A and B are shown apart, each in its own frame.
Chain A
Amino acid sequence: MTIVKTNMDRRSFLKASALAGGGLMLSFSWLAGCKPTPEQALTMPKEWFELNSYIKIGENGAVTLFSPNPEFGSNVKTSMPMILADELDTDWKNVFVEQADFYPERYDRQFTGGSQGIRQGWTPLRTAGATARMMLVNAAAQTWKVPAGEITTEAGTIHHKSSNKKAGYGEMASLAATLPVPEEVKLKEIKDFKIIGNSKKNVDGLNIVTGKPLFAIDHKVDGMLYSAIVHPPAFGMKLKSFDASSVKSMPGIKDVFSINVFTEEYERNFFDVATFPEIVAIVGNSTWEVLQAKKALKVEWENAPQSSFAMTDFGGNKSTGSIPAGLENSADHKAKMAEYSAKPGNILRRDGDPEAQFKKAAKVIERTYSAPFLAHNTMEPMNCFADVKGGKAVVYGPTQAPELIMSTLAQALGIPKENIQINLARMGGGFGRRAYSHHLVEAALISQKINAPVKMVYTREDDMTSGVYRPTYTATYRAALDENKNLLAFHVKAGGIPETPIAPNRFPAGAIDNYLAEGWQIESNITIGAFRAPRSNFIASAEQSFLDELAEEMGKDPIAFRLELLKRAETNPVGETNDYDAKRYAGVLELVRDKSNWNTPPAGIHRGVSAYFCHNSYVAEVLDLEMKDNQPTVQKVYAAVDCGIVINPDAAANMGEGAIVDGIGNAFFGELTFTNGVPDKTNFDKYRMIRQKEAPRSIEVHFVKNDVDPTGLGEPLFPPVFAALANSLYKATGKRLYDQPFQPQLIEMGNLKM
């Protein structure tokens, strides 16, 4: 039994409610909630009674659950309410789900990213559900004059057995809403979960397949104007001047002006990555008209000098950010990275005496891996609706991180935070890109300037060329072997532009006596940001490719070799700062070995394996590749995942499948390069994305069954697949691939086609 402190402060809740009554906090859900199933068990009630920030119950027993976190496709809008509903002990078919607006007085951590939504929401959501249930039970106890401890609940009904009294939640809701919040509540036993662990369909499914307006880009109000933006054509350039008269007389054009998302004195936060703080905005009557003016606008750019700004870094420390001058080229990046790879780096971890072991080694294997910058390419380009007037702002946009853009909005608009309302739109993809939400600030500034509601939309070209990319990285791995091919020492040195991808306390650290990890970084004016499993998405590919090659050199099966290392880390770990559980790590390798019948691949299948730990979860993957008419075809991918308790298994599998497809696509095709600061690709004609034909023919996602509290899921299936693919391509072609993307090298290999 788990008893938790509720930590629910009724007064702060009431304060928030009063604020809502004050007129600023609009109810922005113009759609009447989403039902989990189209069969409406209950209609909308006449009156709702709020039990807490997450839950209101109607007099007819209908339940509205507010999903606190922004939805970008990870399905939190279904899984978070499932957690609430289970502890509330309600019937899922009587539930309406609504997206909560950004409301820090009522909700903690309204942030979608880092695969932390469910992990960090787990206890608060369970507590909120259990608290509301307890209040309903207390209301029944008071009404029936029986002890609360004798009352049971089931699927939205309250029962007192000995007096045979029964009531629906709706009958007790009005009284329950007035009762004190219990200080402690009992949470369910895991075995008693009825909704958690049982697949539920996406609550927005019907709205999606019928084309309902769910996204910020779909939003429209009377009198709304449209806006396009023009940003510098290259990293390292800034606005010099523009000629408004060049487009002002074009049809439908209302205004042309420049905006700057940062005021001079503003102290930036870690997520204030605005590639081009100053841009030109064009406002008009329709999207097409502003896009025409965008093409015609006469604008001059100039090289930006080196600049610096005050900021608070990720750890909360004050520091100075710096943006170097110059127009950068990918060829120069490569040369510079090779230079840094050859020099000593910063030592991040050192166990034993690796240098001495390398000196006495009979054989040293050294391999260098690289990966390019990547653009996120969310299908819905950056956009935002804003309505700023009379010292108040309503901003409705696709953002993963409303709390991280609030201060930026406040300083740019000169409006206090209390007068800014951020409403959370469903996002057409995020992948980390929308943790950086300066498109919200841009739209708000535009609305403020023209004193009218506005919808600003980036073109695909604006979106792909506005930075916040996955960095480019390189890693050199070395292994020292004795004459009997025993592993003596292991060395990784990795860096990138502008960050190192190394997590020095992850596997295989802890499994090898003599271990050295070094990192380095090169600064750049090309902006970067989180991209699905930041850093892990590269270092996993390098490490797991190297381990495969090392196993082969040592004459060992690649899974058996990894398990051997993990056994060492489990039974006699090196060092005390290892950040993984070697047993759970081995568990996913064993499960994937089992599920894939690792030792007996089907005829004509080339197999690669890979495993990685990140975002508190463990994943191992086996990828089956077939060469069909000289075309590498991924037949099947098996994934074994240990992310603790799985809330919504089918949706979890869907996300796992997506991460695997995403990884295969980026491994084969993903690449953004630069010439004189200009991105070489600006749209999907050149930037190749994985499509239906290149997707695996099937994917099996297997979850380890345990009672561990849930951990990350959106990201962990992504990093391992790159190496599973590389290792299977080696089996198929006899060639190791060290540099992503793989497709251009495969094409060079004789008759291969893709």
Chain B
Amino acid sequence: MATLNLKVNKKSYTVDVDPNTPVLWVLRDHLNLVGTKFGCGIAQCGACTIHMDGAAIRSCSLPVSAVANSELTTIEGISENGDHPVQKAWLEHDVPQCGYCQAGQIMTAVALLNENPLPSDQEIENAMNGNICRCGTYLRIKAAVKTASQSL
């Protein structure tokens, strides 16, 4: 066990956990930030995507000891009231079906648009390819990313 200081969504937290614990489980079990989802545990599905210093990472495969000095952002932290342009675009296109993968999809999209505010179709496809949506909402995801891109 180790005592670690974390910065998540601009708030500071101290946790006492096994330093090998993946960030995902620290968020979910210890910090009650359950918007970040468990899908595969091996960085293959993208459901657990969060931002580490602005870049999209898979929180299921990153030990918490590796993020102690980083700024983490989760789905709960990208806007105060669900009004980030990407969230608004998601609502406009009524993207979700079951909704389980969507936090990860949104986090990947936000990171993409932060880096590349006007991505081409192919750039969107490449960026979003790591996030599985079992319900198959891919077309609406792509459309929502484009809408968000235009409103940034």
Contact = CB atoms under 8 A, between A and B. Distances in A.
15 contacts: A205-B96, A209-B75, A209-B87, A218-B28, A218-B34, A220-B32, A220-B34, A287-B25, A287-B38, A377-B134, A662-B136, A685-B42, A689-B132, A692-B141, A699-B139
Contact of A695 (B1, B34, B97, B138): B138
A214 interface: yes
A204 B97 CA distance: 10
Contacts of A56: none
B53 interface: no
B119 interface: no
Given A286-B30, A288-B21, A685-B42, A698 B139 contact: yes
B62 to A, nearest CB: 13
Given A381-B38, A684-B42, A692-B131, A657 B139 contact: yes
A660 B139 CA distance: 11
Contacts of B39: 379-381, 460, 684
Contacts of A684: 39-40, 42, 44-45, 132
B59 interface: no
B135 interface: yes
B136 A657 contact: yes
Contacts, number: 189
Q: Taking each of A72, A430, A689, A695, which has the highest tally of chain B beta carbons within 10 Å of its own beta carbon?
A: A695
Interface of A: 38, 72-75, 199, 201-202, 204-206, 208-215, 217-218, 220, 226, 251, 286-289, 292, 377-381, 426-431, 457, 459-460, 650-651, 654-655, 657-662, 665, 683-685, 689-693, 695-696, 698-699
Contacts of B32: 220
A638 to B, nearest CB: 14
Given A75-B97, A692-B129, A693-B129, A429 B135 contact: yes
Interface of B: 1, 17-18, 20-22, 25, 28-30, 32-42, 44-45, 47, 74-76, 79, 82, 87, 90-91, 94-103, 106, 124-126, 128-142
B49 to A, nearest CB: 11
A214 B96 CA distance: 13
Q: Taking each of A38, A217, A287, A685, which has the highest tally of chain B beta carbons within 10 Å of its own beta carbon?
A: A287
Contact of B136 (A460, A650, A690): A690
A662 B76 CA distance: 29
Contact of B96 (A208, A287, A661, A696): A208
A37 B124 CA distance: 28
Given A380-B98, A691-B129, 16 more contacts: A73-B99, A205-B94, A210-B76, A211-B35, A211-B76, A213-B34, A288-B17, A288-B20, A288-B25, A379-B37, A657-B136, A658-B137, A662-B136, A684-B45, A692-B138, A695-B136
A209 B90 contact: yes
A379 B103 contact: no
Contacts of A689: 45, 132, 134
B22 A288 contact: yes
Q: Taking each of A72, A199, A684, A696, which has the highest tally of chain B beta carbons within 10 Å of its own beta carbon?
A: A684
A655 B137 CA distance: 8
Contacts of B45: 379, 684, 689
Nearest to B86: A209
Nearest to A665: B136
Q: Taking each of B44, B95, B133, B134, which has the highest tally of chain A beta carbons within 10 Å of its own beta carbon?
A: B134
B132 A210 contact: no
* 9 nearest A-B residue pairs (beta carbon): A211-B35, A428-B100, A661-B136, A73-B98, A211-B75, A73-B97, A658-B136, A695-B138, A208-B99
B1 to A, nearest CB: 7
Q: Taking each of B44, B124, B136, which has the highest tally of chain A beta carbons within 10 Å of its own beta carbon?
A: B136
Contact of A289 (B18, B94, B125, B135): B18
B29 A286 contact: yes
Contacts of B106: 209
A379 B41 CA distance: 12
B102 A209 contact: yes
A668 B36 CA distance: 30
B91 A206 contact: yes
A660 B38 CA distance: 26
Q: Taking each of B18, B94, B95, which has the highest tally of chain A beta carbons within 10 Å of its own beta carbon?
A: B94
Given A74-B97, A429-B134, A692 B128 contact: yes
A400 to B, nearest CB: 12
